[in-house]
Amino acid sequence: MVTAAVAFCAAFAPPSGATAQQPTAINRGVVELETSGAAGISVRIAEDLASMVDDGATRRVIPVVGKGSLQNLVDLKYLRGIDLAILQTDVVDYAKEQQLLPGLDASFTYIARLYNEEFHLLAGPDIKTIADLAHRKVNFDLRGSGTAITASRLFDLLKVPVTVVNDNQEIALDKLRRGEIAALAFVAGKPAPLFTRLKGDDGLHFVAVSFNPTAMGAYAPARLTAADYPGFVPQARSVDTIAVGSVLAVAELRQLPERYKNVANFVDVFFTGFQSLLAPGHHPKWQEVNLAAEFPGWRRYAPAEQWLQRNIQVANAPKPDELKKIFGLFIDERRQATGSPAMTQQDKDVVFQQFQSWQKSKTQ
């Protein structure tokens, strides 16, 4: 009986030396990226990056769901193991204004400005304009979240006093349906998962937010359309709102050479493979990203800056849709110049696909 037990254990024991090597192998090339909550899109963005970067042996991105953009900023400075974080740019401004982190601009660098995130203001049927929310209950998400900071700044700018509620978004949506609050605010890249299943049959709707360029320097004008939320936003009635930028920030890693090298490797794969993130199957917000765009006031992470200097033509290359449009114009002009009949869009698409195949063969 003992002999059988020994044989069983021997058969299923790890190979000699595997136990000692396993922790090293598992931690090789790991980069921890902190995102905001699952109701927004930064988790999906991190998943896209993880899928692209992970090679199963030498590189790996581990998304970490944080408590919001302000906490992400604090975690990036103090929490052990966090290498990167996705931050709202107005939250960075807020932290500087409030002097929450001494030496903030010198504490971090950035890899790239990312996409804009739209301000969604969802309200019940009795709310027609943002002014109707005066002295009513409005959910600002959890304290310290990016939404809480943006919403607080926005309502102050618009001089609309409200009673702030700080529930997570799923709870707030349920309260809104029951009439316990008048509206909920949420900063998230469209289409935000929280709203994609809404149909408007319970009277809920997005409320317009006017953009004032003089007062809202940190924000940009934006619009929510039926293409973003089919069946919820009426086809011919888009909703004006504002948007806030986001940035992929890096912790201070210069005294941590292994983690610094891991993030440098991440940058190389991310930038080199960026065009693949524009393909179907990835979040549409990647279409907004320009790797060369700058984040004023912050230094770019040195390996990212060096990559851009070496590959500026690649970084500024037109996106697939833009390239396809340019290609179509070229075909039209050439055929017109030679007196040839116009080419149908279907034929243009075929020739463009042939051009892409040829282009790809030249770079292999």
pLDDT in tens, 304-351: 999 999 987 655 555 556 556 656 666 766 666 666 777 787 776 677
With 50 as the cut, is the pLDDT of residue 60 above it?
Answer: yes
pLDDT band at 103 (very low <50, low <70, confident <90, very high): confident
- How many angstroms separate the CA atoms of 267 and 274, rounded? 10
Residue 328 confidence (pLDDT): 67
pLDDT band at 8 (very low <50, low <70, confident <90, very high): very low
Q: Residue ranges per domain, the chain?
A: 21-115+247-315, 116-245, 320-362
Residue 169 confidence (pLDDT): 92
List CB contacts of 168: < 8 A, sequence separation 6 or more.
Answer: 37, 39, 141, 142
Residue 265 confidence (pLDDT): 95
Residue 237 confidence (pLDDT): 86
With 60 as the cut, is the pLDDT of residue 358 above it?
Answer: no
- How many angstroms separate the CA atoms of 328 and 351, rounded? 10
Residue 363 confidence (pLDDT): 40
Q: What is the mean pLDDT of the chain?
A: 84
Q: Which CATH architecture has domain 116-245?
A: 3-Layer(aba) Sandwich (3.40)
Residue 210 confidence (pLDDT): 87
* Share above pLDDT 90 across residues of the chain, in percent, rounded to a whole number: 56
Residues 239/208, Cβ–Cβ less than 8 Å: yes
pLDDT in tens, 232-284: 998 888 999 999 999 999 999 999 999 999 999 999 999 999 999 998 899 99
Q: Does the fold of domain 116-245 match that of domain 21-115+247-315? A: yes
Residue 217 confidence (pLDDT): 73
The pTM (predicted TM-score) of the whole model is 0.77
The DSSP line for 137-194 is EEE--STTSHHHHHHHHHHHHTT---EEE---HHHHHHHHHTTSSSEEEEEEPSSPGG
Of the given ranges (62-76, 97-111, 334-348), which has the lowest mean pLDDT? Answer: 334-348
Residue 324 confidence (pLDDT): 60
Alpha helices, H only, the chain: 2-12, 18-27, 42-53, 69-78, 89-97, 104-107, 146-157, 169-177, 257-272, 302-310, 312-315, 320-337, 345-362
Residue 73 confidence (pLDDT): 92
Domain 21-115+247-315 in CATH 3.40.190.10: yes
With 90 as the cut, is the pLDDT of residue 68 above it?
Answer: no
Task: Give me the mean pLDDT over the 192-196 stretch.
Answer: 88
With 50 as the cut, is the pLDDT of residue 361 above it?
Answer: no
Upper half-sphere CA count for residue 72 (Cβ side, 13 Å): 31
pLDDT in tens, 123-180: 999 999 999 999 999 999 998 889 999 999 999 999 999 999 999 999 999 999 999 9
Q: Which of 301, 278, 297, 298 is nearest to 289 (CA)?
A: 278
With 60 as the cut, is the pLDDT of residue 3 above it?
Answer: no
The 8 Å CB, 24+ separation contacts for 309-318 are: 311/271, 314/271, 315/271, 315/290, 315/291, 316/292, 317/275
With 50 as the cut, is the pLDDT of residue 10 above it?
Answer: no
- How many angstroms separate the CA atoms of 52 and 274, rounded? 9
Residue 360 confidence (pLDDT): 44
With 60 as the cut, is the pLDDT of residue 46 above it?
Answer: yes
Higher pLDDT, 297 or 45: 45
With 80 as the cut, is the pLDDT of residue 355 above it?
Answer: no
Higher pLDDT, 63 or 342: 63
